[in-house]
């Protein structure tokens, strides 16, 4: 894990002999309007000794002042401030280096946990020493509080020792749902700071290859759908960042995968990213991935059917720009 520069540190001391069950790491960037809500949801967890590590990652708003004012007497809470914004991976890794709990859990500053989340997860991981990661169901929530969809509906979880194989195809584990062993996550190097997207998936795959993954069916987090979220801002980079990361894991785990599994994983991953690119308007970028998916035998007819549509829409948009008509919508292009 890299060593980002720490500008200052505000700590509520905890005696060295005082045990901590769970270290909760919250990266916060310009999160003054939501971070107290996240902290309150951690306070609602009962029956465990919890420490909270908030990493104020170079915020330009008053996140530092808000968190400092929110610290209550006797709380196990650490506020770390960085001189510049280093990204969520570096922020979480900074928190990991300060974590003292047996277990570690991650919460984003704009999300909330529901009561009982940590207790249920700790009970689950204690029940089986082979478990390396416990997740749970989540509720995608609009900024105004409206429930949108359950996390397990579109991306059903897989459990057990082979769950990592499904993670190679799609990520069914949102970061705020995770609880794992602090030392194991530290030994694995935490989050890869070289990955702009997919750094969480990369770590979940590593954890999954070392034991069992459990996904509790209960909805235990509200996961807020933010218009300018990291994944939405870096959506077009997915193909050039996530696919090489997946290939790295395929090479490392080649002895555990047969040829049919390798083809299926590569084809399904290419098709999924191609669809994401197509429906986000990145038509040109989707074409080689649809062809790649077809070549691996993943929905070959459907994959090929997208290719002329993508080329047509990309061409229509380019002509519209050349004529000074601005962007042509997908609907108009049809």
Indicate the residue among 228, 249, 282 that finishes a domain.
228
pLDDT band for position 1 (cuts 50, 70, 90):
low
Would you say residue 27 has pLDDT above 70? yes
Per the domain annotation, does 237 fall within a domain? no
pLDDT band for position 232 (cuts 50, 70, 90):
very low
Strands 77-82 and 50-56, bridge-based pairing = parallel
**Is residue 241 within 8 Å of 197, Cβ to Cβ?**
yes
> Can you give the pLDDT at residue 287?
96
Give yes or no: residues 192 and 299 share one domain.
Answer: no
Ramachandran bin of 297, using left for φ above 0, alpha for ψ from -120 to 50, beta for the remaining angles = left
pLDDT (tens digit per residue) in 83-142: 999 999 999 999 999 999 999 999 999 999 999 999 999 999 999 999 999 999 999 888
> Can you give the pLDDT at residue 327?
56
Would you say residue 333 has pLDDT above 60? no
Per the domain annotation, does 250 fall within a domain? no
Give yes or no: residues 212 and 316 share one domain.
Answer: no
Give yes or no: residues 55 and 171 share one domain.
Answer: yes
Would you say residue 144 has pLDDT above 50? yes
> Can you give the pLDDT at residue 237?
73
Give yes or no: residues 75 and 169 share one domain.
Answer: yes
Q: Which domain holds residue 311?
A: 258-333
Give yes or no: residues 181 and 290 share one domain.
Answer: no
Strands 179-181 and 131-141, bridge-based pairing = antiparallel
Give yes or no: residues 196 and 288 share one domain.
Answer: no
Per the domain annotation, does 299 fall within a domain? yes
Residue 194 in tokens: 């070289």
Question: How far is residue 52's CA from residue 34's CA, in Å, rounded to a whole number?
Answer: 16
What is the domain count for the chain? 2
> Can you give the pLDDT at residue 235?
54
pLDDT (tens digit per residue) in 238-272: 788 999 999 999 999 999 999 999 999 999 999 99
Per the domain annotation, does 243 fall within a domain? no
pTM given for the model:
0.89
The secondary structure of 135-167 as a DSSP string is: EEEEEEE-TTS-EEEEHHHHS----BTTHHHHH
């Amino acid at each position: 894990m890299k060593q980002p520069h720490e500008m200052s540190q505000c700590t509520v001391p905890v005696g060295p002999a005082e045990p901590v069950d769970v270290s909760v790491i919250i990266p916060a960037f310009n999160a003054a309007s939501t971070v107290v809500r996240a902290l309150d949801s951690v306070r609602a967890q009962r029956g465990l000794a919890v420490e909270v590590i908030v990493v104020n990652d170079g915020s330009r708003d008053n996140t530092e002042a808000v968190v400092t004012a929110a610290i209550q007497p006797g709380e196990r809470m650490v506020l770390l401030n960085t001189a510049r914004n280093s990204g969520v991976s570096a922020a979480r890794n900074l928190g990991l280096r300060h974590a003292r709990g047996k277990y570690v859990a991650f919460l984003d500053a704009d999300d909330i946990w529901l009561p009982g989340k940590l207790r249920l997860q700790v009970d689950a991981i204690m029940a089986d020493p082979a478990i390396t990661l416990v997740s749970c169901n989540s509720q995608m929530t609009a900024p105004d509080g409206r429930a949108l969809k359950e996390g397990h509906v579109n991306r059903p979880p897989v459990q057990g020792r082979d769950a990592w194989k499904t993670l190679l195809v799609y990520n069914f584990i949102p970061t705020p749902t995770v609880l794992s062993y602090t030392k194991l996550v530290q030994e694995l190097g935490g989050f890869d700071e070289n990955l702009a997207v997919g750094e969480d998936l990369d770590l979940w795959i590593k954890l999954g290859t070392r034991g069992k993954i459990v996904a509790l069916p209960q909805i235990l987090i509200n996961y807020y759908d933010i218009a300018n979220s990291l994944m939405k801002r870096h959506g077009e980079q997915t193909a050039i960042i996530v696919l090489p990361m997946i290939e790295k894991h395929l090479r490392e785990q080649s002895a555990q995968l047969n040829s049919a599994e390798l083809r299926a994983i590569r084809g399904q991953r290419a098709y999924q990213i191609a669809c994401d690119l197509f429906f986000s308007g990145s038509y040109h970028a989707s074409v080689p991935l649809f062809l790649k998916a077809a070549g691996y035998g993943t929905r070959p007819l459907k994959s090929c059917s997208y290719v002329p549509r993508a080329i047509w829409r990309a061409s229509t948009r380019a002509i519209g720009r050349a004529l000074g008509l601005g962007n042509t919508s997908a609907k108009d292009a049809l």
